[in-house]
Amino acid sequence: MSAGCSRRSAGGWPGGHTQKGHVAAIQNAWLVQKSGNGRARPQKSLASAAAVAPTIVARIVLSQSPALFQEAAQADRTMLPFFFDFRLLIWIAPAIVLALWAQWRVKSAFAAASRLPAPLSGAAAARHILDSAGASNVQVESVGGSLTDHYDPSTKVLRLSQDVYGAKSLAAVGIAAHEAGHALQDAEKSSLMAVRNAAVGVANFGSGLGIIVFMIGLAMALQPLAWLGIILFGGTVFFQLVNLPLEIDASNRAKAQLVALGIVPEADMPAVNSVLNAAAWTYVAATLQSILTLLYYASYLSGGSDD
């Protein structure tokens, strides 16, 4: 699962570099217009904005795949087109370092816990937890790919990746139990879950559109439009602020259920805990990164950055 996270992140970074030139051009146009001699610039600026568009579209497409731990990676992708400014890179460096550390922790903890046996497979553990809580209507299915584990609230289906579905390991039951935790949040009609489900579409839509609107506002020196873009992008931050407590709650439920139902002996829980705790840190890092990015662009537009 961590392989998936790091692959997605690694895929995002080079994309950021390619945008550097385009966005620098857009920024220059913005600054030229601010200083009042940019009459010939709009054409160039729009061309630059158009050059950024393919990456924006790619990002929107990428952000459509639902999955468990990739929600954090999804947040990384959200930042992708914003990765053009070196000062931004410095500004969000703490979040990036935290994200890299957390992803490394997830990877190593998952590998270690995968070698430790559990009495049930991931699928059987999820089934047991769901049935014990009266959520027998939730289906458990296998799904292709790595780290693609997720609960789909619209169809009430819990999908587990190959490494989790049939594997009888502490890592597998830990992740399966986390997903079952999401299903139980849904079954209990958690209001936070309802807000999250409503916000996920808004966040995907808002972050993509927000970036486009921001770029256009910058390119055309229309500051209110750029602000609108930032506000739309704020939908992503909102989503992550709602999502974070749900992720932590799902893991807390998982830890409690695995022990209460006798799936994992108390003595074996540290290995499960290390996987789930590391995953929680990836969400913290993603949330921090989006907040810092939002603050950076807000301060950029409000005149904090002037060169």
The residues assigned a catalytic role are 179
DSSP calls for 33-68: HHTT--TTHHHHHHHHHHHHHHHHHHHHHHTT---S
Smaller CB separation from Zn ion, 58 or 157: 157
Binding site for Zn ion (CB under 5 A): 68, 247, 250
Residue 256: CB atoms within 10 Å: 12
Closest approach of Zn ion to the CB of residue 181, in Å: 7
Nearest to residue 255, comparing CAs of 205, 197, 200, 181? 181
| Residue 158: both structure tokens together | 């819990």
**C-alpha span between 143 and 80 (Å, rounded):** 27
Smaller CB separation from Zn ion, 80 or 158: 158
Smaller CB separation from Zn ion, 173 or 250: 250
Closest approach of Zn ion to the CB of residue 153, in Å: 12
DSSP calls for 89-129: HHHTHHHHHHHHHHHHHHHHHHHHHHTSB-SS-HHHHHHHH
Smaller CB separation from Zn ion, 180 or 301: 180
**C-alpha span between 161 and 69 (Å, rounded):** 12
Residue 39: what are its φ and ψ, rounded to 5°?
-60, -40
Closest approach of Zn ion to the CB of residue 178, in Å: 6
Q: Are β-strands 139-143 and 157-161 bridged in parallel, bridged antiparallel, or unpaired?
A: parallel
Closest approach of Zn ion to the CB of residue 243, in Å: 8
